[in-house]
């Protein structure tokens, strides 16, 4: 059995309305889990012989395939779930028409030493999925960090050193022209002041989860403005893919692994490709 696997949602914008999250009502991992489930269903069922040409395997499933029929182990020894599509990937219009934003979640319990490899792999997979060579913005979210307007505690030297080591990878990707801009998530004034002096390429974006009626602290607004950092807000989950959620999906629902298999989610990456001139999301997953 392969020791690593890549789970993919496919393009969420082509899925039914039941997959798309309602931001004010649902957690961000609802859309992730629902879209993974629907993509797995579409790949793991055949259409019944009498199916209408417009029918999908999700809405009218036929025979359920064995896992080995709709998953594939690649040359790199990684199990791809579902198997990579033979249909052409990519964006419909010229690359310069798009703003491609990516957010990478480093998950709890994963050694910080793995982040360099995980970052490079995530960027490579998104570029391959969209048929592009670079991203406009990559935002990274560190585990066990949440934004608090009142929190002025200074992080430990060990934490800061881990951020810096990870940030060096982002700077390398920037130098290689794989990403145009770097973003951080959940960094208040204190965290930014600890990290920025040790960076060569300054972050362009700081994305924070504001729970108090969207009130951004004034010191952070001033600090970010002085340093040319754009402040954005989000409502993503802190723990976007808990182990039990993953187990229920891939073991209980789809039988991809034995019940005694140890599952350790490593990272989650989400991407959005927006057509600049029209402000339309064409591809998201």
Instruction: Tell me the per-residue pLDDT of 26-69, one tens digit each, with 9 for 90 and over.
Output: 567 888 999 999 999 999 997 655 555 555 555 555 688 999 99
**In contact, 268 and 236? CB cutoff 8 Å:** no
CA distance 18 to 63: 23
State the Cα torsion 255-261-262-266 to the nearest 10°.
-40
Q: Which domain holds residue 192?
A: 4-48+61-284
The answer to whether residue 54 is domain-embedded is: no
Angle at 229 between CA 270 and CA 200, to 5 degrees: 90
What is the reported pLDDT for 145?
87
Q: What is the per-residue pLDDT across 187-204, written as a single tens digit (0 to 9) for each?
A: 999 999 999 999 999 999
**In contact, 221 and 230? CB cutoff 8 Å:** no
Residue 219 dihedral angles phi and psi, to the nearest 5°: -60, -35
The answer to whether residue 88 is domain-embedded is: yes
The answer to whether residue 55 is domain-embedded is: no
pTM passes above 0.85: yes
The answer to whether residue 200 is domain-embedded is: yes
All residues at 6 or more sequence positions from 65 whose CB lies less than 8 Å from its CB, including other chains? 44, 45, 46
Closest CA to 284 of 93, 81, 103, 58: 103
Q: What is the per-residue pLDDT across 162-187, written as a single tens digit (0 to 9) for each?
A: 999 999 999 999 999 999 999 999 99
The answer to whether residue 151 is domain-embedded is: yes
The answer to whether residue 230 is domain-embedded is: yes
The answer to whether residue 53 is domain-embedded is: no
- Compute how many other C-beta atoms are within 10 angstroms of the C-beta atom of residue 9: 20
The answer to whether residue 82 is domain-embedded is: yes
Q: How many domains does the chain have?
A: 1
């Amino acid at each position: 059995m392969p020791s690593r696997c890549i789970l993919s949602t496919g393009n969420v914008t082509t899925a039914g309305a039941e997959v798309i999250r309602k931001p004010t009502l649902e957690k961000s991992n609802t859309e992730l889990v629902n879209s993974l489930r629907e993509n797995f269903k579409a790949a793991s069922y055949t259409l019944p012989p009498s199916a209408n040409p417009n029918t999908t395997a999700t809405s009218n499933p036929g025979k359920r395939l064995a896992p080995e029929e709709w998953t594939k182990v690649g040359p790199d020894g990684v199990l791809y779930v579902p198997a990579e599509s033979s249909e052409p990937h990519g964006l419909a219009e010229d690359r310069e028409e798009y703003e491609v934003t990516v957010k990478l979640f480093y998950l709890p319990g994963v050694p910080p030493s793995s982040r360099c490899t995980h970052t490079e792999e995530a960027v490579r997979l998104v570029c391959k999925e969209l048929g592009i060579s670079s991203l406009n913005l990559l935002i990274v979210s560190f585990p066990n960090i949440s934004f608090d307007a009142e929190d002025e505690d200074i992080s430990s030297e060990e934490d800061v050193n881990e951020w810096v080591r990870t940030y060096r990878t982002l700077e390398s990707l920037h130098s290689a022209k794989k990403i145009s801009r770097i973003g951080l998530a959940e960094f208040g004034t204190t965290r930014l002041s600890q990290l920025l002096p040790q960076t060569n390429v300054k972050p362009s974006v700081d994305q924070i989860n504001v729970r108090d009626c969207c009130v951004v602290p004034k010191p952070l607004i001033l600090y970010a403005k002085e340093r040319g950092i754009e402040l954005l807000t989000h409502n993503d989950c802190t723990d976007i893919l808990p182990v039990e959620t993953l187990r229920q999906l891939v073991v209980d629902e789809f039988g991809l692994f034995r019940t005694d298999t140890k599952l350790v989610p490593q990272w989650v990456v989400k991407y959005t490709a927006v057509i600049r001139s029209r402000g339309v999301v064409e591809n998201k997953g």
